[in-house]
Amino acid sequence: MATIARREAKRRAALTRERILRAAISLADRDGIESLSMRKLGHKLGVEAMSLYNHVRNKVDMLDGMVDVVFGEIDLPANGIDWRTAMRQRAISARQALSRHPWAIGLMESRATPGPATLRHHDAVLGSLRTAGFSVDLAAHAYSILDGYTYGFTLTELTLPFRNSEIAEVAGNIMEGFRPGDYPHLAEMAVDRAMKPGYNYGDEFEYGLDLILDGIERAHSPARRMQ
Amino acid sequence: MATIARREAKRRAALTRERILRAAISLADRDGIESLSMRKLGHKLGVEAMSLYNHVRNKVDMLDGMVDVVFGEIDLPANGIDWRTAMRQRAISARQALSRHPWAIGLMESRATPGPATLRHHDAVLGSLRTAGFSVDLAAHAYSILDGYTYGFTLTELTLPFRNSEIAEVAGNIMEGFRPGDYPHLAEMAVDRAMKPGYNYGDEFEYGLDLILDGIERAHSPARRMQ
DNA sequence: ACCTGAACACCGTTCAAGT
DNA sequence: ACCTGAACACCGTTCAAGT
């Protein structure tokens, strides 16, 4: 009977690269990337680890594929809306996708070969800026700043010693454990902001995003600056 | 004789957490973080892997320590200079430190417990801004943007499919391999910029940094804006 | 107090063998 | 064409034993 069940499971969904990537992503989301092994992944898919190698070159190739899937989840800039709205939406969408899959940003560092979804995304963003009349140079500047800020903010957010939920723990971390006055400005920041009810570090993201968009707008159309 | 050599090597430098972290960093710099193992590290230090556990709680603790050493390499903002120069210098210094140790930025994602050098650094940056008259809120905004941009830019730079050296390879990657017109804007960018002699993506960093510093300055002293 | 050898429970990956 | 079992060369970490 076990055999029949196995066979049915197999017929229900044949092993494909696509299915492997989805399963790997959901394992990484749940348990963290460092505990993702080919053996556990095989087990989740009802298959021996070695079967995965028929659809994936090796683990590095699989990790490349996973990162590319995450990039595919980022909204492409919509057509026909102004560049500022398009860039704002895509930055927010990128932060959401990277937050859903926190391991992705740590993996980017070692990924040298971008996948098709990643390339398509970059191409669409550059296209949106060029269509809006940005020079090649200014489009490169703008993309570089926006991308850098978006990734970096998300990375910082993940690194934060406090998650938004446990405010009491913040107090614990910052105020106790150290000699009082060791880190006075961090302490001040914690008391004044992080410990206030309703505090959410994520809110900081749009402040910085708008400051950067202001700067880009100024560089793009200096004539209309400070209108 | 081998015994005598071993014993001398041992007397020359006793095993300490400090020495272990330095050796681990230099191995990671040379061979990449994914090939850093306790066994190889022990071998480099002329010791069995298990000896390391007398000075380091476990591998995660060691990785925490390595990241903190990298943070310690970032210049603290100097006293007595204006905030803008101080912030500019520290951003440039941070990018340099993270470029020297490319694995560090990929490791940050999973580090929940910042070390003393990291905390001291954050405290000094906030202190510099507060001394310059920034409100707690604006100091938080400013730090969040500058930090995010600095990490994110460095991460993007590491991820780039082309390293500055091999311009011919860029052409290969972007132009060949894909159907022509698949990624037209990436192709345009490659031809117009990346393939030009003397191109260096790193130059982009200061453009964005100054744009952000302009924005912060405007928020800090709106009276003197666009002076 | 520090170092070690053997051992345990894992890894990624290969390869020949099965269907 | 796809899956598997056994095997290889690794891992991080523990623990009792040495000095």
- Which tens digits make up the pLDDT trace of A218-227? 999 875 544 4
Band of the pLDDT at A52, cuts 50, 70, 90? very high
Q: Which nucleotides of D are covered by protein (CB under 7 A)?
A: 2-6, 10-15
pTM: 0.89
DSSP E strand boundaries for A76-190: none
> Quick check: helix, strand or coil at residue B56?
coil
Six-digit token pair at B226? 């666009």
Whether A189 and B106 lie within 8 Å, measured CB to CB: no
A98/A67 Cα distance (integer angstroms): 10
Convert the pLDDT of each residue in B18-31 to its tens digit: 999 999 999 999 99
Task: Return the closest-CA partner of residue B186 out of B204, B160, B212.
Answer: B160
- pLDDT for residue B160: 73
Contacts of B152 in chain A (CB under 8 A): 147-153, 155
Band of the pLDDT at A4, cuts 50, 70, 90? very low
Residues 17-56 of chain B within 7 A of strand D, judged by CB, are: 35-40, 49-50, 53
> Quick check: helix, strand or coil at residue B35?
helix
CA of B67 to C1' of C8 (A): 30
Whether A110 and B106 lie within 8 Å, measured CB to CB: yes
Please name the residues between 105 and 144 in chain B that touch chain A, using a CB distance below 8 Å: 105-114, 119-120, 122-124, 126-127, 130, 136-137, 139-141, 144
Nearest CA in chain B to A117: B183
In chain B, which residues have pLDDT < 50? 1-12, 165, 167-168, 225-227
Band of the pLDDT at A2, cuts 50, 70, 90? very low
pLDDT at A161 over 50: yes
**Angular region, B70: left φ>0, alpha ψ -120 to 50, beta rest:** alpha
Six-digit token pair at B49? 């892997």
- What percentage of chain A exceeds 90 in pLDDT? 68
**Weakest mean pLDDT among A7-11, A49-53, A78-82:** A7-11
- What percentage of chain B exceeds 70 in pLDDT? 83
